[in-house]
Amino acid sequence: MHCERLSTERIAESAIALVILLGLSVVAQAQTYTVLHEFTGGQDGAAPRAGVTLDQGGNLYGTTSAGGYTGGRCTVGRLNGCGTVFKLGHTNSGWVLNPLYTFMGQYGDGASPFARVIFGPDGTLYGTTAFGGPADSDCFAVGCGTVFNLKPPATACKTALCPWTETVLYFFQLNLNLGGNPWLGDLLFDHSGNVYGTTWDSAQGDGEIFELLASSGGWTYNTLYQFPVGYRQGGDPNAGVISDGTGDLYGTAMVGPHYAGIVYRLSPSGSGWSSQILYAFQGGSDGANPAGGLVFDQSGNLYGTTLSKGAGGGGTVYELSPSDGGWVLTTLHSFSGTDGSYAVLTMDASGNLYGTTFGDGAYGYGNVFKLTNSNGSWSYTSLYDFTGATDGGQPYGQVALDASGNLYGTASAGGTNGQGVVWEITP
């Protein structure tokens, strides 16, 4: 099992608003880096492992894997609290942080969201927690995680205190053969409003891809595919899946036949689904352990990252292109740090790629990078190198890009309080 020990005490839901003035600003390679919020480990949360989601008004939504109510014992590493969902609103005077929801763990609402929240077709927020829910002996009695929905108050808020209402759509339970522990992967909606995702564990294998079918006001869980025990067909999917628009799903798994991970495609087949390995990493110059997910370009090529190996030893950025019925991998860049990227890449309208590394960069605390595409040739630029101090460090999450070219994200560590930060990079 891949669970961490958690325990909680029942708490009353609380939300506070924090007015955050623009913090640390530095210039890095013609870019301006600004810390928008430093987490305290209190009711605003701690240790954000996911990136942020932008709404049409430029507000940021995100999750923290710890913090929130610190009176309990919902523990990730050395941090207390079961995590939060927050909104960071842009105002004329700066930024306002409002914790939308504080998780309570053992009381059925989930604990420790590692992935982003995304907007569903109804305009409300959806996400997963890695732990929490009903006690499960196969998850060390801490619960195997949830899929949840957050809705704003039915009437407009007249104060800054605006907690949202959580509904759990599904409780994962390994002891009932229903998967467990969704990790860093985003959820995916199809055109019919059904939800797709992945779990790190499964009762009969090494992780699974699942579907939640919307029906009669409820949700029905369906296991699309379980990675068999032994890793020869892949296993331990850390990231979510994407769709090509024809019904096929694409994703990555951390391990595979060479113990270095795979890129896979899942296709409807009769009454079930069939899995195909598009590429099995060798663990050499091609990299190993693709922790991040995938992104398509307009030509149908796939792009992703690996966490380790490669020419520099610290992971890679790669492109997978369809060719003669198969797929060909091209390494676009090799990192030299201790850990490459956990994040899904972000592609802009010009086909340039943005991402983060966990342990590369000039100081070994990760960085924000750009790969510029010029007629199929790629050039690498480090936009910002984290120091691990007040500016933050060790980012897991992907980069969010707004219409003005500003970049947003989180770092899981650093900041004045050592609990992580939300950052912005402006051109």
Would you say residue 235 lies in a domain?
yes
* Of residues 158, 163, 212, 167, the one with CA closest to residue 187: 212
Strand order in the sheet with 195-199: 188-189, 195-199, 205-215, 218-228
Percent of the chain with pLDDT over 70: 88
**98 in Cβ contact with 118 (< 8 Å):** no
Domains of the chain: total: 1
Q: Which residues, in sequence order, are bridge partners of residue 330?
A: 319
Helix residue spans in 224-329 (DSSP H): none
pLDDT, tens only, 51-67: 999 999 999 999 999 99
Torsional sign, CA 8, 9, 13, 15: negative
Determine, yes or no, domain membership for 196: yes
User: Could you give the CA distance from residue 386 to residue 360 in angstroms, rounded to a whole number?
Assistant: 9
Predicted confidence at residue 77, as pLDDT, reads 55
Alpha-carbon span 264 to 276, nearest angstrom: 6
* Residue 312 falls in which region: left (phi positive, over 0), alpha (psi -120 to 50) or beta: alpha
Greater confidence, 161 or 76?
A: 161
- What does the pLDDT average to over 391-416? 97
Query: Is residue 295 assigned to a domain?
Result: yes
Rounded distance, CA 79 to CA 46, Å?
8
The pLDDT of residue 70 is 61
Collapsing DSSP to helix, strand or coil, 4 comes out as: coil
Residue 179 belongs to some domain of the structure: no
Q: Is 217 part of a structural domain of the chain? A: yes
**Cβ-contact 99, 15 below 8 angstroms:** yes
What CATH number has the domain bearing residue 205?
2.120.10.10
Give the three-state DSSP class for 342. Answer: coil
Reported as a single tens digit per residue, the pLDDT across 324-380 is: 989 999 999 999 988 999 999 999 999 999 999 999 999 999 999 999 999 889 999
Question: Would you say residue 19 has pLDDT above 90?
Answer: no
User: What's the pLDDT tens digit per position in 114-163?
Assistant: 999 999 999 999 999 998 887 776 676 678 899 999 999 887 776 666 78
> What pLDDT score was predicted for residue 27?
42
Average pLDDT, the chain: 88
pLDDT at residue 208, as a whole number: 95
**Listed residue (45, 58, 137, 133) closest to 95, CA to CA:** 58
pTM recorded for the entire structure: 0.90
Residue 7 has pLDDT above 50, yes or no: no
Residue 203 lies in a domain: yes
Inside any domain, residue 55: no
d(CA 269, CA 103): 39
Answer yes or no: is pLDDT of 83 > 60. yes
Is a pLDDT exceeding 70 seen at residue 3? no
Domain interval for residue 293 = 186-341
